[in-house]
């Protein structure tokens, strides 16, 4: 018969009231067990204070990370846990260099181009999650969502302010440029973000076209100005492959959880 460990005594009401007043929820949660351990092991009072403050700091860090992940708009939860470096056409050395995130500190851009299914979106989304885990802020967009942003703020002439708020993020991701026809509003939105972020924030753009071919999507003059700013401090990775990563997974039966026949 197993013996259950008794629950540590609750905090005295005055102490709990102070933790609520000072907004220390993680300290309050951890305190009963920490204090019980401290009494049993005769901790130095300074160690008790350190452990309790460390619990509060760790709780706040985790909460901030969750908030940043939710606010980022990252769409599918694709991280490097599910990334197969060997299956990517991107050289392993380049993958490793990107994962250091040193390029974010230099406000450099990343352009990943290639055919559908090459793993472009997975790579930049995983980099976004990694950046959040390391205390950075991320904003994920498509051209459609950027276009909606421009249209929403144009009537009251607050487009510049909206774009300014957007580029407060350490990394701005624009996914799947060139998959659909680009409207004049979308072309304007892309230029505004690239121009505002130039030498201030990092952009990560995925496209089925090389940026030099953006003049197929938008007016040549606007395309030239956009690409000039985008590529000045950019790492351009070309996924030169005819094989779809998604299709390969599906063919190998890895795209779904196998069905289990029931008796």
Domains located in the chain, CATH noted? 13-46+53-70 (no CATH), 72-249 (3.40.50.300)
- CA–CA dist 166, 81 (Å, integer): 28
47-98 residue pLDDT tens: 999 999 999 999 999 999 999 999 999 987 889 998 888 888 899 999 999 9
pLDDT value of position 118: 83
Using a 10 angstrom Cβ sphere, with 0-12 exposed, 13-18 middle and 19 or more buried, the burial of residue 202 is buried
pLDDT value of position 115: 86
Instruction: Answer yes or no: is pLDDT of 247 > 50.
Output: no
Question: In angstroms, what CA-CA distances link 176 with 112, 180, 211, 233, 237?
Answer: 10, 8, 12, 20, 14
143-192 residue pLDDT tens: 999 999 989 998 888 989 999 999 999 999 999 898 777 888 889 999 99
* Contact yes or no for 78/122 (Cβ under 8 A): yes
Sort strands 202-207 and 171-177 into parallel, antiparallel or unpaired.
Answer: parallel
* Contact yes or no for 191/220 (Cβ under 8 A): no
């Amino acid at each position: 018969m197993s013996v259950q460990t008794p629950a540590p005594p609750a905090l005295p009401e005055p102490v709990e009231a102070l933790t609520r007043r000072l907004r220390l929820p993680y300290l309050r949660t951890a305190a009963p067990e920490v204090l019980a351990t401290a009494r049993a092991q005769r901790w130095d009072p300074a160690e008790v204070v350190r452990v309790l403050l460390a619990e509060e700091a760790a709780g706040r860090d985790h909460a901030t990370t969750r908030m940043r992940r939710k606010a980022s708009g990252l769409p599918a939860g694709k991280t490097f846990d599910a990334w197969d470096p060997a299956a990517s056409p991107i050289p392993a050395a380049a993958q490793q260099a990107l994962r250091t995130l040193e390029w974010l500190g230099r406000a450099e851009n990343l352009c990943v181009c290639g055919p559908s299914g090459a793993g472009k979106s997975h790579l930049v989304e995983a980099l976004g999650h990694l950046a959040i885990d390391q205390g950075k802020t991320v904003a994920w967009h498509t051209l459609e969502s950027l276009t909606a942003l421009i249209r929403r703020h144009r009537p009251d002439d607050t487009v510049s302010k909206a774009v300014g708020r957007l580029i407060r993020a350490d990394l701005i991701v624009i996914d799947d440029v060139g998959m659909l026809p680009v409207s004049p509003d979308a072309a304007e939105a892309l230029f505004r973000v690239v121009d505002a972020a130039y030498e201030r924030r990092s952009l990560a753009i995925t496209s089925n076209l090389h940026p030099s071919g953006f003049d197929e999507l938008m007016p040549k003059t606007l395309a030239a100005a956009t690409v000039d700013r985008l590529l000045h401090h950019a790492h351009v990775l070309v996924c030169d492959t005819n094989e779809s990563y998604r299709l390969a997974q599906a063919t190998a039966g890895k795209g779904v959880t196998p069905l289990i026949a029931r008796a």
